[in-house]
Amino acid sequence: MTDSEAQKPIWQRLLWFVALWAGSVAALGVVGYAIKLVLKP
C-alpha cells in the first residue's frame, strides 16, 4: 500500500468495498439468470 492509499478516508475505502461487493453480486445474478434461461425446459 502506498502512502497516498493509506491516507484515503475510511468512508472512501468502504465505498469501494461496497461497490465491488455489489458489482460481484450483480454479476453473479446475471450469470445465474442466464444459466436459468438456458436450462429452462
pLDDT of residue 41: 74
pLDDT in tens, 6-38: 688 999 999 999 999 999 999 999 999 999 999
Measure the CA–CA gap between 40 and 23, rounded to whole angstroms.
26
pLDDT score of 1 more than 70: no
pLDDT of residue 8: 84
SS (H, E, C) 1-41: CCHHHHCCCHHHHHHHHHHHHHHHHHHHHHHHHHHHHHHCC
